[in-house]
C-alpha cells in the first residue's frame, strides 16, 4: 500500500515538471515554417450616416442598358447588376466598393442620387 502511495506522489510531482520542459527540435522547425497570411478585404474607415444608408437604395439605369439595384439586407448594402450580387461598403463620401474591390460605385449626391458611375475590374 505504501509503495502505491509513493508511486502516486511521484507521478503527481512529475506531471507539472513536463509542462515546463523545453520543446522538441522538430517543433521549432514547424513553428519556424508558419508565416502570416495577409487577408485582402475592403475595410472602411468612412462611417455611413443613416440618411446615406437609406439614400443610395434604389434602382438605377446604366448607360449600357443594364440596371443597377442597391438594396439593404440585415443592415448591409448589396448591389445587383444582372445576376451579379455583391455586398458594398462605403469607402468615401458618395463612394462604395465591393469587398473584393471588383466594383466601385460613385453616386452624384446622397440622399437624392440620380446618377451613379460604376467602375468594374476586368474579368
Q: Is the same domain home to 58 and 94?
A: yes
pLDDT higher at 59 or 30: 59
- Residue 43 domain-assigned? no
What pLDDT score was predicted for residue 45?
75
What pLDDT score was predicted for residue 39?
55
Q: Is the same domain home to 8 and 60?
A: no
Residues sharing a CB contact under 8 Å with residue 41, sequence separation 6 or more, in sequence order = 99, 100
- Residue 21 domain-assigned? yes
Q: Is the same domain home to 57 and 92?
A: yes
Give the predicted TM-score (pTM) of the model.
0.60
Number of domains in the chain: 2
Q: Is the same domain home to 55 and 29?
A: no
Residue 105 has pLDDT above 60, yes or no: yes
- Residue 44 domain-assigned? no
Whole-number percent of the chain with pLDDT over 90: 40
Q: Which of 117, 82, 113 is nearest to 103 (CA)?
A: 117
pLDDT higher at 39 or 79: 79
Mean pLDDT of the chain: 78
Find the domain containing 7 and state its range. Answer: 2-33
CB of 57 closer than 8 Å to CB of 79: no
Q: Is the same domain home to 67 and 100?
A: yes
Rounded CA separation 57/73 (Å): 11
- Cα dihedral 68, 106, 90, 55 in deg (nearest 10): -70
DSSP states of 73-105 as a string?
ETTEEEEEETTEEEEEEEEETTEEEETTSSEEE
Find cell 513553428 and name the residue.
31
Amino acid at each position: 500500500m505504501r509503495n502505491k502511495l509513493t508511486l502516486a506522489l511521484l507521478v503527481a510531482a512529475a506531471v507539472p515538471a513536463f509542462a515546463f520542459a523545453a520543446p522538441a527540435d522538430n517543433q521549432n522547425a514547424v513553428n519556424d515554417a508558419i508565416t502570416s497570411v495577409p487577408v485582402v478585404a475592403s475595410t472602411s474607415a468612412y462611417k455611413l450616416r443613416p440618411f446615406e444608408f437609406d439614400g443610395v437604395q434604389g434602382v438605377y439605369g446604366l448607360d449600357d442598358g443594364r440596371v443597377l439595384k442597391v438594396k439593404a439586407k440585415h443592415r448591409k448594402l448589396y448591389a445587383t447588376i444582372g445576376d451579379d450580387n455583391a455586398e458594398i461598403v462605403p469607402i468615401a463620401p458618395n463612394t462604395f466598393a465591393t469587398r473584393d474591390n471588383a466594383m466601385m460605385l460613385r453616386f452624384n449626391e446622397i440622399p437624392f442620387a440620380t446618377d451613379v458611375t460604376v467602375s468594374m475590374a476586368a474579368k
